[in-house]
């Protein structure tokens, strides 16, 4: 028994926010953002859009690609760090939008590594026979939680809104058949506060949210950018090699490398360190910014659509993010 990806989908809102747009609200520039991050523009939701709307569009596209209806799905996993409400998770709003009545769903909170964490979980559930058809979706709406003044510029310029989804199905095919080969995941809570949104949080008493916290900007993401960068360029190659090794594969065997889209410089650095040729790497951060848990399924969808990911190809996916959390997976398409 193995787990096969049978459909992909993605959705980003129509509203394009360029670097020049951001420069109207804060002290930044197109030149700084492009040089430091590689980002040209990102998408932000429109006035009436919510996370579950984005997720629904991505899921319906993935279901169509797999030739399935929502009712065929046994379980939904949704990765996000920007949940639609404090509780319940976005997955419950999504499940209702898909017209489902009692299909189980849950949110997974592993930030930018969330999609790969879910892939490991879903693979285990499918191999164990617990579920046969699963939807795994990453969905982020960062734009409503960003500090758009100069105070928040280091974080605000990198994030974008978007959603990506895959359908996973049990497969009995053997040998070199398509499927997830290995997934490895790691975390280091020691650095939880190096990239976090503190409030509202039940760790703050007697009240998780006060006017003062809002005024002090504790409701916005805070990041020690250089520290995060240094850890990302160390952990990503480490876990990528660990995962390939577990699958008895080498860098040269892989046809396509997909890295989390937090900063183009991080990805160039990792590719350089591992001597990955440029034509085996695909990035889309230029157009969408950092969509956290949605980034990898969005890459899967785009590379399938542009013909880079065709049957038989080996694809390696690697992410690093808040927590800290990092993970890698390798699959045959
Ligand atoms: O997705 C989760 C994982 N996240 C990441 O992997 C992000 C990792 N970190 C990064 O990508 C980078 O650290 C950033 C892109 C966030 C920042 O780039 P940096 O080269 O590390 O800049 P820095 O934070 O060290 O700041 C350098 C200078 C500072 O000014 P001074 O002190 O040298 O005068 C900042 O105040 O750049 C300034 N700065 C900005 N200037 C214009 C910071 N943000 C901006 C900005 N526009 N948006």
pLDDT in tens, 237-249: 999 999 999 999 9
What does the pLDDT average to over 104-120?
A: 98
User: Cβ(228) to ligand 1 under 6 A?
Assistant: yes
Output the CA 324–ligand 1 centroid distance in Å. 18
Residue located nearest, by CA, to atom 25 of ligand 1: 226
Which pLDDT does position 238 carry in this prediction?
Answer: 98
Q: Are 39 and 155 in a shared domain?
A: yes
Ligand 1 pocket test, pick from 223, 225, 296 with the greatest ligand atom count within 8 Å of Cβ, gives 225
The Cα–Cα gap between 54 and 251 comes to 34
Three-state SS sequence of 126-177: HHCCCCCEEEEEEEECCHHHCCCCHHHHHHHCCECCEEEEEEEEEECCCCCC
- Sequence-distant (6+) residues with CB within 8 A of 110 are 79, 117, 118, 185, 187, 293, 321, 323, 325, 327
pLDDT band at residue 133, thresholds of 50, 70 and 90? very high
Q: Are 256 and 160 in a shared domain?
A: no
Phi/psi for 296 (5° steps) reads -70, -45
Among candidate residues 149, 171, 193, the one where a domain is terminated? 171
Q: Are 145 and 269 in a shared domain?
A: no
Domain that holds residue 104: 2-171
Which pLDDT does position 89 carry in this prediction?
Answer: 98
What does the pLDDT average to over 283-305?
A: 98
What does the pLDDT average to over 115-124?
A: 98
User: Cβ(156) to ligand 1 under 6 A?
Assistant: no
Q: Are 187 and 150 in a shared domain?
A: no
Which pLDDT does position 225 carry in this prediction?
Answer: 97
Phi/psi for 327 (5° steps) reads -165, 160
Among candidate residues 110, 141, 171, the one where a domain is terminated? 171
Q: Are 135 and 191 in a shared domain?
A: no
Check 260, 267, 283, 291 and give the catalytic one: 260
Q: Are 126 and 187 in a shared domain?
A: no
The Cα–Cα gap between 136 and 120 comes to 11
pLDDT in tens, 38-51: 999 999 999 999 99
What does the pLDDT average to over 16-26?
A: 98
Contact 258, 205 (CB under 8 A): no
Instruction: Dig out the tokens for 309 from the structure.
Output: 């990911």
Q: Are 295 and 154 in a shared domain?
A: no
The Cα–Cα gap between 331 and 312 comes to 10
User: Cβ(224) to ligand 1 under 6 A?
Assistant: no
112 in active site: yes
Q: Are 65 and 199 in a shared domain?
A: no
Q: Are 10 and 159 in a shared domain?
A: yes
Q: Are 204 and 166 in a shared domain?
A: no
Q: What is the CA radius of gyration of the chain?
A: 19
Residue 175 has pLDDT above 90, yes or no: no
Buried-exposed string 166-200: b where 16+ CB fall within 10 A, e elsewhere: bbbbbbeeeeeebbbbbbbbbbeeebeebbbbbbb
Place of tokens 């157009």: 287
Output the CA 193–ligand 1 centroid distance in Å. 17
Residue located nearest, by CA, to atom 1 of ligand 1: 262
Q: Are 142 and 28 in a shared domain?
A: yes
From residue 224, alpha-carbon distances to 131, 205, 326 in Å are 40, 25, 17
Which pLDDT does position 62 carry in this prediction?
Answer: 98
289: phi > 0 → left, psi -120 to 50 → alpha, else beta; which?
left
From residue 291, alpha-carbon distances to 8, 141, 156, 277 in Å are 16, 8, 12, 25
The CATH number that applies at residue 308 is 3.40.47.10
Residue 144 has pLDDT above 90, yes or no: yes
Q: Are 152 and 260 in a shared domain?
A: no
Interhelix angle 51-66/295-305, rounded to 10 degrees, is 40
Considering its fold, how many domains does the chain have in total?
Answer: 2
Please choose, from the candidates 290, 287, 298, 296, the residue with its C-alpha nearest in 3D space to the C-alpha of residue 319.
296
What does the pLDDT average to over 203-227?
A: 96
Instruction: Dig out the tokens for 177 from the structure.
Output: 């058949």
pTM of the model: 0.97
pLDDT band at residue 174, thresholds of 50, 70 and 90? confident
Average pLDDT across the chain, whole number: 97
């Amino acid at each position: 028994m193995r787990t096969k990806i049978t459909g992909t989908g993605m959705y980003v809102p129509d509203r394009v926010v360029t670097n020049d747009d951001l420069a109207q609200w804060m002290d930044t520039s197109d030149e700084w953002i492009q040089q430091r991050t590689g980002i040209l523009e990102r998408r932000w939701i429109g006035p009436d859009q919510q996370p579950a709307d984005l997720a629904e569009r991505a899921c319906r596209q993935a279901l169509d690609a797999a030739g399935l209806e929502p009712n065929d799905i046994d379980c939904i996993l949704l990765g996000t760090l920007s949940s639609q409400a404090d509780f319940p998770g976005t997955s419950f709003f999504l499940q209702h939008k898909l017209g489902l009545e009692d299909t189980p769903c849950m949110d997974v909170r592993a930030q930018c590594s969330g999609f790969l964490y879910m892939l490991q979980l879903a693979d285990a559930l499918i191999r164990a026979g617990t579920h046969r058809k699963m939807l795994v979706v990453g969905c982020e709406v960062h734009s409503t939680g960003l500090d758009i003044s100069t105070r928040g510029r280091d974080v605000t310029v990198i994030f974008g809104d978007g959603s990506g989804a895959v359908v996973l199905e049990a497969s009995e095919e053997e040998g070199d058949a398509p499927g997830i080969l290995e997934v490895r995941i790691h975390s280091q809570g020691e650095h939880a506060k190096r990239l976090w949104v503190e409030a509202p949080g039940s760790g703050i008493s007697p009240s998780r949210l006060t006017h003062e916290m809002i005024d002090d900007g504790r409701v916005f993401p805070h990041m020690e950018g250089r520290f995060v960068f240094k850890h990302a360029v160390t952990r990503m190659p480490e876990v990528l090699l660990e995962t390939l090794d577990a699958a008895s594969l080498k860098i040269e065997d892989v046809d396509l490398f997909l890295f989390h889209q937090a900063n183009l410089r991080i990805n160039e650095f990792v590719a350089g360190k591992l001597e990955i040729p440029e034509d085996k790497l695909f990035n889309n951060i230029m157009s969408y910014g950092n969509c956290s848990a949605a980034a990898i399924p969005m890459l899967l969808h785009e590379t399938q659509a542009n013909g880079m990911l065709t049957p038989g190809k080996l694809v390696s996916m690697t992410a690093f993010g808040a927590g800290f959390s990092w993970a890698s997976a390798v699959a045959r398409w």
